[in-house]
Amino acid sequence: MTIAAPHAAPQSSAAGGARRTRVAVAGATGYAGQELVRLLARHPAVTLTAAMSSGATSTPRPLPALARIWDEAVTPLDIDRLVSSADIVFLALPEAASAELAPTLVGRGARVIDLSGAFRIRDAADRQRWYPATTALPAGTVYGLPEHDAAAIRNARLVSCPGCYPTAALLALEPLEAAGLIDGAVIVDAKSGISGAGKAPSDRTHFSENHGSVAAYAVFSHRHNAEIEQELKRDVTFVPHLVPLDRGILETIYVTLAPGTTEAQVAHALEEAYRDAAFVRLTGAALPEIKHVAHTNFCDIGWKVDEGRRRLALIVVLDNLVKGAAGQAVQNLNIVLGLDERTGLL
Ligand SMILES: NC(=O)c1ccc[n+]([C@@H]2O[C@H](COP(=O)([O-])OP(=O)(O)OC[C@H]3O[C@@H](n4cnc5c(N)ncnc54)[C@H](OP(=O)(O)O)[C@@H]3O)[C@@H](O)[C@H]2O)c1
């Protein structure tokens, strides 16, 4: 959905003889940032010109996990270098850092693909509540769920990538909402692996706390609840849980169907929506699992319908670091550049 006025397409630049777009990553030492570096380093249409850390360390450092994939050093954050070395800058930063950096980058002519939540919420009062560091949305900001917002993403100055939980929920629910098949509030019961919380350990994410346990958190106080409701325009009860996996999200979504809705109508709405979608796989009654999508950009959606009691259960899985973060950001890059959405992702 477009938030503000669109702008012109990016310029490509010559690199190594080929016409490639120059890209850079801020937050490259984080979980999402490292996935971005991995994807962008082998992307055939871009040159990764810089990968930056927080600046808390003054010494350039390598990324051991990415040896032979990206052998350049990760350097401290340098805004001037981001602007001069890249046409498109990916921000994989804490939202307060994105809130500060992105408007400067856009103002200086860069296009930005932001993985944080800083620019997702359009209503100013809601944004103040959930993302107080964000003072305004730069002109040309677009909420970018590729399967639903491609036309707006193409001309965006700042693509605000959806959160990992909202990506799964919205991919499953928006086609059903558009078809008028939902009646009343929706319940999203979500489970996430620990990497969803980023690399800094906490009491909740520490191995010895999480291993062998499952815990609900942020009940009625998670920012992604507001994001899902904004996009769906419907009340949603969202309860996230941490599960002892390194990566992956599974959402069980409970829907009361509009009177008279059939199983065939549910299937038809989803099949129509994703007939040409490269990264949404509909599994129907063969319910998907996190292992089916780990390390991929796929979101798999399965479902069961109890027509007599108007009940629908959707099971949605994705990898929070790929379709929920870095892969989705590269999918958005491909849309911005007018490429096949699968470029560099399959
Ligand atoms: N993890 C997920 O599954 C996921 C999914 C979707 C969206 N996101 C969003 O993506 C963003 C990154 O998440 P993450 O999980 O990758 O976080 P992370 O693992 O904690 O990494 C954060 C990155 O930002 C850098 N950084 C920290 N503070 C900074 C500052 N003040 N200025 C500049 N750089 C700073 C860190 O550099 P140092 O190494 O120097 O500290 C690191 O590279 C977050 O906004 C998150 O909400 C994450």
pLDDT digits (tens, 9 = 90+) for 314-342: 999 999 999 999 999 999 999 999 999 99
Beta-strand (E) ranges in 151-235? 158-160, 186-192, 215-216
- Tell whether 86 is covered by a domain: yes
For residue 176 and ligand 1, the question of a CB distance below 6 A is answered with: no
Q: Are residues 148 and 30 in the same domain?
A: yes
The amino acid sitting at 138 is: P
The amino acid sitting at 72 is: E
From the CA of 156, how far away is ligand 1's center (Å)?
A: 23
Partner residues linked to 303 by β-bridges: 314
- Tell whether 240 is covered by a domain: yes
Task: Tell which of 128, 161, 194 closes a domain.
Answer: 161
Task: Tell which of 161, 181, 215 closes a domain.
Answer: 161
Q: Are residues 153 and 242 in the same domain?
A: no
What's the pLDDT score for residue 19? 80
Q: Are residues 261 and 289 in the same domain?
A: yes
Rg value, the chain, Cα:
20
The closest of 159, 104, 211 to 334, measured between CA atoms, is: 159
Q: Give residue-wise pLDDT tens across range 236-271.
A: 999 999 999 999 999 999 999 999 999 999 999 999
Looking at the structure of the chain, the number of domains it has is: 2
Helix 164-178 with 263-274: angle, nearest 10 deg:
120
Atom of ligand 1 lying closest to residue 196 CA: 3
For residue 49 and ligand 1, the question of a CB distance below 6 A is answered with: no
Atom of ligand 1 lying closest to residue 56 CA: 40
- Tell whether 275 is covered by a domain: yes
Q: Are residues 169 and 144 in the same domain?
A: no
For residue 32 and ligand 1, the question of a CB distance below 6 A is answered with: yes
- Tell whether 2 is covered by a domain: no
Give the tokens for residue 80.
């001037």
Q: Are residues 54 and 127 in the same domain?
A: yes
- Tell whether 3 is covered by a domain: no
Q: Are residues 271 and 150 in the same domain?
A: no
For residue 29 and ligand 1, the question of a CB distance below 6 A is answered with: yes
201, 92, 233, 305: CA torsion to nearest 10: -70
From the CA of 95, how far away is ligand 1's center (Å)?
A: 8
Q: Are residues 228 and 89 in the same domain?
A: no
For residue 51 and ligand 1, the question of a CB distance below 6 A is answered with: no
Range of the domain at 255: 165-320
Q: Are residues 82 and 175 in the same domain?
A: no
From the CA of 34, how far away is ligand 1's center (Å)?
A: 10
What's the pLDDT score for residue 6? 33
Distance (Å, whole) CA 8 – CA 30: 31
What's the pLDDT score for residue 9? 43
Question: b/e per residue, 104-142, with b = 16+ CB within 10 A?
Answer: ebbeeebbbbbbbbbbbbbeeebbeebbeebeebbebbb
Pocket test for ligand 1, best of 34, 39, 52, 54 (most atoms within 8 A of CB): 54
- Tell whether 172 is covered by a domain: yes
Decide: helix, strand or coil at residue 240: strand
299 flagged as catalytic: no
The closest of 289, 283, 284, 278 to 328, measured between CA atoms, is: 278
For residue 321 and ligand 1, the question of a CB distance below 6 A is answered with: yes
The closest of 276, 325, 274 to 301, measured between CA atoms, is: 274
What's the pLDDT score for residue 171? 98
Consecutive sets of 10 residues in the chain, 346 residues long: mean pLDDT of each? 37 57 97 98 97 83 90 94 97 98 98 98 97 97 98 98 98 98 96 96 92 96 98 98 98 98 98 98 98 98 98 98 98 98 98
Choosing from 23, 115, 164, 305, the catalytic residue is: 164
What's the pLDDT score for residue 2? 34
For residue 6 and ligand 1, the question of a CB distance below 6 A is answered with: no
- Tell whether 151 is covered by a domain: yes
Residue nearest to atom 35 of ligand 1 (CA): 54
Distance (Å, whole) CA 107 – CA 87: 13
Q: Are residues 22 and 99 in the same domain?
A: yes
Q: Are residues 190 and 248 in the same domain?
A: yes
From the CA of 190, how far away is ligand 1's center (Å)?
A: 22
Q: What is the DSSP string of 38-58?
A: HHHHT-TTEEEEEEE--SSS-
* Residues shown for the chain: 346
Q: Are residues 173 and 238 in the same domain?
A: yes
For residue 192 and ligand 1, the question of a CB distance below 6 A is answered with: no
For residue 75 and ligand 1, the question of a CB distance below 6 A is answered with: no
Q: Are residues 50 and 154 in the same domain?
A: yes
From the CA of 325, how far away is ligand 1's center (Å)?
A: 11
Residue nearest to atom 2 of ligand 1 (CA): 196
Q: Is-contact 257 204, C-beta < 8 A?
A: no
Residue nearest to atom 45 of ligand 1 (CA): 116
- Tell whether 330 is covered by a domain: no
52 exposed, middle or buried (CB, 10 Å; 0-12, 13-18, 19+)?
buried
The closest of 139, 253, 259, 132 to 187, measured between CA atoms, is: 253
Task: Tell which of 121, 144, 161 closes a domain.
Answer: 161
Distance (Å, whole) CA 174 – CA 232: 6
Per-residue DSSP letter, 64: G
What's the pLDDT score for residue 59? 79
Distance (Å, whole) CA 280 – CA 278: 6
For residue 67 and ligand 1, the question of a CB distance below 6 A is answered with: no
User: What is the domain-level CATH number for residue 197?
Assistant: 3.30.360.10
Cβ-proximal residues to 31 (8 Å cutoff; 6+ apart), any chain? 195, 198, 199, 321, 325
User: What is the domain-level CATH number for residue 70?
Assistant: 3.40.50.720
Pocket test for ligand 1, best of 70, 115, 121 (most atoms within 8 A of CB): 115
